[in-house]
A and B are shown apart, each in its own frame.
Chain A
Amino acid sequence: MIRNNQTVSRLIELIAFIIAFIIISTCLMNALIVKGHSTEARMYDVYEGYAHNTDVLFIGSSHAGHLVGRNLWRDYGIAAYTIAGNSQPVDILYHSIVEFLKYETPKVIMVETALIPDDSMESPDTEYEGRIQNGAGFRYSSNYLQMVSEQIKNFNLPLKTEGIQLIYKWPLMHDRYKSLTKDDFVPDTPYFVSDTEPLYSVPEQEAQIVTSEERGPISDIGREYLDKIIDLCQKENVPLVLFHTPYPAPEITLAQQNTIADIAAENNVPFIDFNYLVDDIGFDVQTDQARDLNHLNLQGGEKITDYLGKYLLNNYGLKDHRQDPGYDTWNKDLQGWQTLQVKKSFEEAGSTADYAELLGNQYSNYVVIMTLSGDYFSESDGSIESVLGKVPVPQDFQAKGGTVILNHGNVLFYSADNATYAFSQKFGNAIVSVNRHIPNDEFISQQNAENNNDGIYIWNDNYIQNANGLNITIYDSDLDIVINSIGIDPCTGEE
């Protein structure tokens, strides 16, 4: 009887152990999983629900990523989500669609085809294998296991070493404890639905987009997964569109894309090869292609997106959701995109006068934190005064120094007569805080004083740039983006 009780109690203990282990290890896996860059849409954000209500899934290589396509939402109200990886291998492409479909039900799937014929898939190197894992931040699931088992088979990975590590996943990612960032716990900009780093360059030499009637072979693995993608979309009853962005491709690439066009036709899948549509769209290689003569630049991306917007509305009955509830991600994405353009403008401001002008135009949209530190008053060229003149700071701020925080143009905090101070304000999940440890005149009198008397902290990073002068940090509290942070030297006026 006692023995039976002991057994039952140990069994309960074991069950409790297993449950606790599963819960905690799932949380740990969430933190440690490779998430990709927060500057682009990623699978991790799909898991978090940010792709909810997606109309169109764009998926493929960096060619798809550089479509960017904000005008699809801005001009047509189409909610598109782009999962694009640098040289994304076709097997990952297929399993990414499977993974996406587990969480969302897009009305159309647009697959970009540049990498489908990739010959390197036949004999990938070790770098490729590494990329397989880093590129696919999949959660542990049957889809992940299926992908891994196919990789082991396709690439003859030894089960005793690489194979088993892929299967378990943990050995490949537990080391991330060394490099965890805020993004691993509170995702940075999870609302981005596409790449946020477009190309702005143009070709440096003359280039021409040509077409071909030839047919070229595509890799067996490419063909296998293309068939799988077609089957999957048919099975899931989601219309599939294949597309190939325009660029001055070599003859073999054109021929391979023609083969893909044939496969698409055999399966009644639309295939849009934009190399054949450049005249209709008004695509000019010299202005719409990036310097690498491979990817679209921002202008080219918007032209192609514009065409796709009309195409999708006309052929798939998509609706304009701009006024509909439930599309917060896309509104925020557009807002974020515009904020990034502002950020770019601040970074490109050529002079303090330009900066002051820009700040004067933008301060009412953001949180602006200004600290006059150290010997800021021995100003020689009036640059600090010119900047402060553009924002509604208290009149005596320049005389008294300290810190002013403007929240969308209104004074949220002013240190005024306080020689030392500390203040913090919570915006969403972020804490913005400012402080001064010792009175400024005492700080100035200290020789070799370290640059740590004043602080402008956002997510624990100190944005003070100059120990002496005016420090300005501009923060978008809605989107949690630090737009700009500069220090203006009182003597030189240099940022």
Chain B
Amino acid sequence: MFITYQLLFPLILLILLLEFIVPKKVRSIVLLALSFFLYYICGTAAFFILPAVGIISYVSTTAMNHTKTQTVKKIILVASIAIIVGLLLTFRYTSLKNMAPLGLSFFALEAISYIADCYLGKIEAEKNPLYVILYIAFFPTIISGPIERGGNLIPQFKRLDSIGRKELFDINRICDSAIIIIFGMFVKLVIADRLSSVSNHIFSEYYHYGTTVLIIGAVSFGMQLYCDFMAYSHIALGIAGLFDIRIMDNFKAPYLSVSITDFWRRWHISLSSWLRDYIYIPLGGNRKGKFRKYLNTFITFAISGVWHGSGISFIVWGALHGLFNMMENLLTDIGLMKKGKRNLPFGSRFLRAIVTFVLVDFAWIFFKADSTKTACSYIIQMFTVKDFWILSDMDKLFSLGLGVQEVMILIFGLIILGGMDYITYKHDLRVDSWLKIQGPLFRVVFTLAILLYTIVFGVYGETVDPASFYYMSF
């Protein structure tokens, strides 16, 4: 995340202190300055693209606001979105792809949603360019989301510039935000980065292995990706919370989903809802018959694949999810699959969660592999080369990137994460809200335990850069 945490967190604390000291009207300016500063020092290429997209968003929406004619508004909408999509495609598919600014995929979608929402009249165009640019450049969300909406963030920036110091320094909110950050760091450093040793090892040398090891590799990657991205979202959410800015939850125990549809309601929620609002619904959604519904679903997921990366493998991944969704819709429509999860008994829910996980994890192979060809070879080998005896060969089993000690540390981490996910799934509670129910003593002990566990057993130090996240590469 921009820079090493050892610099980032003290810097954030410093800015928080500064926010307290400076007159309230300049708080957003301080936040914007910090956002640009962090974005600049992280060494991104084409730094100017970020403010440029912010300015395009402001100018186009202001122009739309001053125009009475619907046609001109539409032209401005199409032109501005075309410029932003053009930038996205240029930096993805041309020789400039190595020059792509960090987080372009994320802030470009934020800009599009803002312009579209203004055009559709969902929100009013903001008159102060500062808030629009800050919305695009807000540092916790800039690199890997959540893909926020102007309607949610901009009013909060305005509020930040008007509230009293007492409200800004609400100790309950600050402590809760710190807990969210600590939990995010725990998931990232203890679980995600440990799992990456296994998935990187197996995916880079998949040709040595058979069914068992390749399944371990795929499951490890699935868990790694979830933990890495969920951790980022938590850290972003916690950091924003320190400044009294509430951003959306991006994950809600996705691997406990009972269907692919359910999964996409819980995984990368900000992207799913963006795709729903700005791709699926404009395409007609489910309003134009079943065939169009299936087709629209498929197109939406294919676009999601394109958004994630430039290789064919990402399109295959998107198409697979499109296909899974279509199949699920079909099975539901013909009555072979129950729609809601509420009426499902535990056994069915459990089995459906496993099936969903297997399907999602299978698709992740295309996400992780260097190319479609590699992914196909991986899958063929996974289904054809027997190596079940490796489960009895402890030496081999514990040479797949993690030794016994590391696996023990990982298992403890996964138990905590699994428990927390179950609570989120069952009661829709995040770690901070759950701890609020448990009472202060447990809250102190739990937070202290995961913080110390992370400090000692986290994967960081001389040779590791823990500040990089998987989704930063998109």
Contacts and interface: CB of A to CB of B under 8 A. Distances in A.
Contacts of A165: 6, 461-462
B212 interface: no
13 contacts: A6-B172, A7-B171, A13-B440, A13-B444, A14-B171, A21-B451, A28-B452, A170-B455, A171-B6, A171-B460, A174-B456, A174-B458, A174-B460
A159 B458 CA distance: 21
A9 B440 contact: yes
B448 A174 contact: no
Interface string B436-474: 000010011001100110011110111000000000000
Interface in A377-405: none
Interface string B163-180: 000000001100100000
B316 interface: no
A16 B456 CA distance: 21
A207 interface: no
Contact of A10 (B171, B448, B451, B452): B171
A359 B7 CA distance: 61
Interface of A: 6-7, 9-11, 13-14, 16-17, 20-21, 24-25, 28, 32, 159-161, 164-165, 167-168, 170-172, 174-175, 177-178
Contacts of B405: 178
A14 B178 CA distance: 11
B448 A160 contact: no
B444 A16 contact: yes
Contacts of B451: 21
B268 to A, nearest CB: 30
B312 interface: no
Given A164-B6, A174-B456, A174-B461, A21 B175 contact: no
A171 B463 CA distance: 10
Given A17-B444, A172-B461, A24 B6 contact: no
A6 to B, nearest CB: 6
Contact of B456 (A11, A32, A164): A32
Interface centre among B405, B451, B461 (most CB of A within 10 A): B461
Contacts of B460: 171, 174
Contacts of B462: 165, 171-172
Given A7-B171, A11-B171, A17-B444, A177 B457 contact: yes
Contacts of A164: 4, 6-7
B9 to A, nearest CB: 11
A292 B457 CA distance: 42
Contacts of A13: 175, 440, 443-444
Given A10-B172, A165-B462, A24 B457 contact: no
B3 interface: yes
Nearest to B457: A177
Contacts of A168: 6
Contacts of A159: 7
Interface string B121-140: 00000000000000000000
Contacts of B444: 13, 16-17, 20
A217 B188 CA distance: 52
A165 B3 CA distance: 13
Contacts, number: 62
A161 B4 contact: yes
Contacts of B458: 174
Given A10-B171, A14-B171, A172-B462, A160 B3 contact: yes
Nearest to A32: B456
Contacts of A175: 461
Closest 5 CB pairs of A and B: A171-B461, A13-B440, A164-B6, A10-B171, A17-B444
A28 B4 CA distance: 23
A177 B457 CA distance: 8
Nearest to B4: A164
B6 A167 contact: yes
Given A28-B452, A168-B6, A171-B462, A17 B447 contact: yes
Given A6-B172, A14-B175, 16 more contacts: A7-B171, A7-B172, A10-B175, A13-B443, A13-B444, A16-B444, A17-B444, A20-B444, A25-B452, A32-B456, A159-B7, A160-B4, A164-B4, A168-B6, A172-B462, A178-B405
B304 to A, nearest CB: 34
Contacts of A160: 3-4, 7
A467 to B, nearest CB: 24
Given A32-B456, A165-B6, A170-B455, A20 B175 contact: no
Interface in B1-20: 3-4, 6-7
Interface in B252-307: none
A177 B448 CA distance: 18
A276 to B, nearest CB: 44
B6 A177 contact: no
Interface centre among A28, A32, A160, A168 (most CB of B within 10 A): A160
A11 B175 CA distance: 9
Interface in B296-349: none
Contacts of A17: 444, 447-448
A160 to B, nearest CB: 6
A32 B455 CA distance: 12
